Amino acid sequence: MSGRLIVISGPSGVGKGTVASALEASDPNIKISVSATTRQPRTGDIHGVNYFFLSKDEFEQMVSRNEFLEYAEYVNNCYGTPIKPVLENLEQGISVILEIDVKGAFQVKEKYPDAVLIFLTAPMETLVKRIEGRQKMDQSELEKRLSTAGWEFLQADKFDHVIENNDLDETVDKVRKILNVM
């Protein structure tokens, strides 16, 4: 039996990573895909765990070898989903969570119409607080992330499901319900 492709998207600071980790922890048949990125690691980021941190050249080589399921530029850096581990997991019946930006989410839906696209939302003040709480985030990066969030909010109605992420447990329950009825 094939696993399912679950896309968790939404603006920076909405809590995608926390929700994805809680879902992974709740079910041995769910795994989070590890993306590649050209952005600098933040304190605590581990290569191969949080991301594969690549140079621009290395990223472009992967693009030219068609090694990404999707990729997109987000606030001056490139992010992409390596396709091989995703397909291997799906073939083994493991569902895969892609925690990715909105542009990437649309590429996934185009290639895999059966993928379930979930948009997490939260009030702008919550996003600001969460992003400001992160290390290595200068003012200009914060502003770019917030202005991108403005556009991202406008895309929510193109997703299969929109969930207001106020409470982690409630959000995880809602996602699990969506997955159970599919």
Helix, strand, coil proportions of the chain in percent (round to 5)?
45, 25, 30
Give the interface size with ligand 5GP as a residue count (CB under 6 A): 16
Nearer to ligand 5GP by Cβ, of 35 and 165: the residue is 35
- 63 neighbors 156 (Cβ within 8 angstroms): no
Stretch that binds ligand 5GP, among 21-29, 56-64, 67-75, 113-121 (CB under 6 A): 67-75
Instruction: Tell whether residue 12 is a contact of ligand 5GP (CB under 6 A).
Output: yes
Instruction: Tell whether residue 104 is a contact of ligand 5GP (CB under 6 A).
Output: yes
Q: CA 40: distance to chain centroid?
A: 17
Nearer to ligand 5GP by Cβ, of 99 and 159: the residue is 99
Among 59, 74, 119, 159, binds ligand 5GP (CB under 6 A): 74
- Distance between CA 44 and CA 76 in Å, rounded? 21
Instruction: Tell whether residue 38 is a contact of ligand 5GP (CB under 6 A).
Output: no
Nearer to ligand 5GP by Cβ, of 71 and 159: the residue is 71
Least Å from the CB of residue 1 to ligand 5GP: 25
Residue 53's alpha-carbon distances to 25, 39, 42, 56, 119, in angstroms, are: 24, 7, 11, 10, 25
Instruction: Tell whether residue 174 is a contact of ligand 5GP (CB under 6 A).
Output: no
Among 6, 15, 54, 79, binds ligand 5GP (CB under 6 A): 79
Stretch that binds ligand 5GP, among 22-30, 55-63, 93-101, 117-125 (CB under 6 A): 93-101
- Distance between CA 117 and CA 102 in Å, rounded? 10
- Distance between CA 49 and CA 70 in Å, rounded? 19
Instruction: Tell whether residue 15 is a contact of ligand 5GP (CB under 6 A).
Output: no
Which helix H or strand E contains 30, and what residues bound it? strand 30-32
Residue 22's alpha-carbon distances to 129, 148, 168, 170, 176, in angstroms, are: 21, 26, 8, 11, 11
Interacting residue ranges for ligand 5GP, rule: CB under 6 A: 12, 16, 35, 39, 70-72, 74, 79-81, 99-101, 103-104
